[in-house]
Amino acid sequence: MMESVAYEMIKKEGYEEGLQRGMQQGMQQGMQQGMQQGMQQGLQQGMLADAREMVLEALDERFGLIPRDLEERIMAIDSRRQIKGLLRHALRAQSLDEFRKALS
């Protein structure tokens, strides 16, 4: 009977220790995944911001001062593919009006 009680106590301690280790490992893995995802998202957002700036710089170089509404529309775009296309238009457009049509 004493052995049974001792066995149950040891078993319970082992279970609790295993549970605690499992939770710690799970939290560490979750934190690592979260950090990796956060870094990846930050990198993508940074690349998108740089691409937007390139479009604005190309327009500024070609046509001078960029109207505020046009700048705001470009800065609101969240598709890298769309921004790349707009960069091509910024380099080829004959006027800001022509570029604005491509933006629509």
In tens, the pLDDT along 31-53 reads 888 888 888 888 899 999 999 99
Using one digit for the tens of pLDDT, what is the confidence trace for 5-35? 766 777 777 777 877 887 788 888 888 888 8
pLDDT of residue 2: 57
CA 32 from centre of chain: 16
CA dihedral for 82, 84, 48, 37, sign (positive or negative): positive
Burial of 4 (0-12, 13-18, 19+ CB in 10 A): exposed
**Where in the sequence is the domain holding 92, given as residue range(s)?**
2-103
In the chain, the number of structural domains is 1
Tell me the Cα Rg of the chain. Answer: 28
Tokens coding 60: 């500024």
